[in-house]
Amino acid sequence: MHDGTVMADDERSPIARARRLADSDAAAAIRVLAGLRGAECPFSEYVAACQLLSQIAFDDRARVAAFTARVAFVGNNTSAYTEGAMRLELSQRVAADVYTGEFDGWAGDLLVRGSGLERFAPDIVIVHLASLGLTTCGTKLDPVPGERLEAALRAFASRSRAHLVWVWPEPLAECTGGCTAADRWYRETIDAARAMAARLNADGIEVLTLDPVYVLTTVAGWAAPRYWAQGKLPMHPSACAALGRRLATIVEGLTTPRVKAVAVDCDDVLWGGQVGDLGPGGVNLSAFDTGSGYVRLQRLLKEASANGILLIALSKNDEATARAVFERRSEMLLSLDDFSAFMVNWAPKAQNLHTAVSSLNIGLDTVLFLDDSRFEREQMRAVCPEVLVLELPPDADEYAAVVAATALLERPIVTNEDRRRREVYARERQREAVRDAHMSVHEFLGSLDIRLIAQPIGTDNLTRVAQLLGKTNQFNLSNRRHAPERLAALASAPATYAYCFQLVDRFGDSGIVGVLIADPTDRGSIEIDTLVLSCRAFGRTAEFGMLEHLRRWSAARARQDIEGEYRPTARNLPVARFLEEAGFARTGSTAVGERYRYDVRRGAVAGVMGEIVDGETPIVPASQ
């Protein structure tokens, strides 16, 4: 193995890139490091990212973030990993200036006038007394010094306007949830903590409490007393990091509410299935079986709405059809009144969101976007990078938990707002830099490496083609539904154009998403019989590519025109203007539809992006 390979490895590593950038371009280095945030990178790499970020000067970090916050950690344990993860998690929005109290020096810091903590003038103080510290690494199950902590918090609150965040002790590794001495100690400790928080809050001292149990349940092997022995870590470093990420959401919520609005897709997010195909009565909202995930998410959004978070519906659908679900389905927890904007149409979602936020007078950077389609999420990320795009899991059953875990819709309880309100250091965003990072919808599509693979309809794909024809209601030009036998006959007629289309882009292979069948006429033209596109493939230009494939086929056979007829139905509005958008000229009306024509010699139809290739079978990698 020679050095060259090692160097190449190094160059690919984000850490190595960030390290190289750190001195010359701190902002770029922070962007690279922020990319590792919560990502599924090896934990040691995550730690390296945290460490590198901590070496970048606060002033440089503050230039990148929109806000700054002075955050102090005091307690009886080593908070290095917790702090690091918090700082990394916040890096692009809030630059955290962090004070770390002396080990076990919390009482002095909170009680003594002119202490290091007081001189730091924190905005937020995180108090974390870990169980391992309170019990000498689990060896002494003595009552905790509750009065001392309460007195210290009261004294500090009387002198400072900082928010107090109190992380409760973690269970001991020996806790079983049953009746061991460790369990009794832990329960008594938490009961005392709960009572203390209530007393403080009753006296107007607002203490936000965080029970770490809910964070720890997400981290396998979180209990690791050996790390206490070596480094006074209250739990495994990866659990400390998870705690740090959770604290980041609290710090962010206190510094500036991150989310003012949730822009939410409808089909397969608020209900199961496509309302355009199933109809308002057919979408899945059954709370007793597989529909409960959608309804749970609605409950969460309803709560957010009640807490003052605006809801924006962002769906590619026929508006009246989507509204009908809200109006007619009694299982719906959300009503139309819960929405501040109802952007349901066929325009790109980024464009609709722009319209909504400007009418609501909020920034794109305060919007959380929920959509089950990876394509829509990536398009939003590319076109509106300020928008917070959440990766929804494939199973709707997990939607609500994933959204809740971000804590973005939580609002810390504010009982004494006047006393607590903090001026944040809001600064003008560096608009220029942000705009440079933007893509247009067109550029985004160009970046997708769209490849449309045309396959003649035949035995291999007949089942899928028949299924597409049977169930596609929205992007269906003529609404003809050929049975499999008829399809097979069309496919084997030599003069008939009968193709289906597989869509591949950099997100992966969507499989067969479109069908186009056209018959020669005695006028020398070719007439579109059937054109359908799965709604999964909307907005990725496949429909234009399909027409262009037909055009090339027709040109090769000296057909002069392509003709087509749009036959309106209750559901196929999305395709109403499609032929016009592709450059077809309207030539008149018939009893059932609108006639269009395209002169093959004009060249490519409008709207085509990416590559159109012919393939008998799905493409195999070039190496095979």
Question: Of all helices (H) and strands (E), which one includes residue 231?
Answer: helix 225-231
Q: Which stretch binds other proteins (CB under 8 A): 223-231, 317-325, 421-429, 490-498?
A: 223-231
Among 230, 335, 463, 587, the residue binding other proteins under the rule CB under 8 A is: 230
Residue 84 CA to residue 394 CA, distance in Å, equals 31
Answer yes or no whether residue 15 interacts with other proteins by CB under 8 A.
yes
Among 11, 25, 43, 214, the residue binding other proteins under the rule CB under 8 A is: 43
Closest residue by Cα to residue 543 from 530, 553, 556, 555: 530
Among 29, 36, 47, 454, the residue binding other proteins under the rule CB under 8 A is: 47
Local structure of 492: helix, strand or coil: helix
Residue 137 CA to residue 173 CA, distance in Å, equals 10
Give the x-and-dash track for 75-94 against other proteins (CB under 8 A): ---x-x--------------
Q: Which stretch binds other proteins (CB under 8 A): 41-49, 88-96, 101-109, 522-530?
A: 41-49
Q: Output the smallest distance, CB 43 to other proteins, in A.
A: 6
Among 10, 203, 611, 616, the residue binding other proteins under the rule CB under 8 A is: 10
Burial of 399 (0-12, 13-18, 19+ CB in 10 A): buried
Residue 460 CA to residue 445 CA, distance in Å, equals 30
Residue 600 CA to residue 618 CA, distance in Å, equals 28
Residue 573 corresponds to which amino acid?
Answer: L
Closest residue by Cα to residue 223 from 144, 131, 140: 131
Q: Which stretch binds other proteins (CB under 8 A): 67-75, 86-94, 228-236, 289-297?
A: 228-236
Residue 497 CA to residue 516 CA, distance in Å, equals 8
Token pair 């060896």: residue: 139
Q: Which stretch binds other proteins (CB under 8 A): 47-55, 337-345, 416-424, 435-443?
A: 47-55
Residue 371 CA to residue 375 CA, distance in Å, equals 9
Among 11, 25, 39, 44, the residue binding other proteins under the rule CB under 8 A is: 44
Answer yes or no whether residue 11 interacts with other proteins by CB under 8 A.
no
Q: Output the smallest distance, CB 144 to other proteins, in A.
A: 25
Residue whose CB is less far from other proteins, 137 or 404:
137
Residue whose CB is less far from other proteins, 228 or 584:
228
Q: How many residues bind other proteins (CB under 8 A)?
A: 21
Residue 24 corresponds to which amino acid?
Answer: S
Q: Output the smallest distance, CB 391 to other proteins, in A.
A: 24
Residue 437 CA to residue 427 CA, distance in Å, equals 19
Answer yes or no whether residue 53 interacts with other proteins by CB under 8 A.
no
Closest residue by Cα to residue 130 from 184, 73, 84: 73
Answer yes or no whether residue 229 interacts with other proteins by CB under 8 A.
yes
Q: Output the smallest distance, CB 135 to other proteins, in A.
A: 17
Q: Output the smallest distance, CB 509 to other proteins, in A.
A: 33
Residue whose CB is less far from other proteins, 137 or 192:
137
Helical H segments across 128-178, by residue range: 131-134, 146-159
How far does Cα 249 stand from its chain's mean position?
15
Q: Output the smallest distance, CB 20 to other proteins, in A.
A: 11
Closest residue by Cα to residue 350 from 325, 387, 323, 324: 387
Q: Output the smallest distance, CB 16 to other proteins, in A.
A: 9
Residue 92 CA to residue 34 CA, distance in Å, equals 7
DSSP type of residue 337: G
Residue whose CB is less far from other proteins, 12 or 601:
12
> How far apart are the two ends of the chain, measured CA to CA in Å?
28
Q: Output the smallest distance, CB 233 to other proteins, in A.
A: 7
Closest residue by Cα to residue 599 from 564, 563, 566: 563
Answer yes or no whether residue 1 interacts with other proteins by CB under 8 A.
yes
Answer yes or no whether residue 6 interacts with other proteins by CB under 8 A.
yes
Helix axes 146-159, 181-202, angle to 10 degrees: 30
Local structure of 585: helix, strand or coil: strand
Local structure of 361: helix, strand or coil: coil
Answer yes or no whether residue 39 interacts with other proteins by CB under 8 A.
no
Closest residue by Cα to residue 253 from 127, 413, 120, 457: 413
Q: Which stretch binds other proteins (CB under 8 A): 42-50, 163-171, 382-390, 533-541?
A: 42-50
Given a contact cutoff of 8 angstroms between Cβ atoms, the answer to whether 601 and 561 are in contact is: no
Q: Output the smallest distance, CB 136 to other proteins, in A.
A: 15
Answer yes or no whether residue 17 interacts with other proteins by CB under 8 A.
no
Answer yes or no whether residue 231 interacts with other proteins by CB under 8 A.
yes
Residue whose CB is less far from other proteins, 217 or 230:
230
Answer yes or no whether residue 344 interacts with other proteins by CB under 8 A.
no
Q: Output the smallest distance, CB 449 to other proteins, in A.
A: 33
Q: Output the smallest distance, CB 334 to other proteins, in A.
A: 44
Local structure of 449: helix, strand or coil: coil
Q: Output the smallest distance, CB 174 to other proteins, in A.
A: 16
Among 126, 233, 547, 575, the residue binding other proteins under the rule CB under 8 A is: 233
Residue 535 CA to residue 529 CA, distance in Å, equals 19
Answer yes or no whether residue 596 interacts with other proteins by CB under 8 A.
no
Angle at 15 between CA 12 and CA 18, to 5 degrees: 100
Among 4, 42, 178, 308, the residue binding other proteins under the rule CB under 8 A is: 42
Binding-site ranges for other proteins (CB under 8 A): 1, 6, 10, 15, 19, 42-44, 47-48, 51, 78, 80, 225-227, 229-231, 233, 237
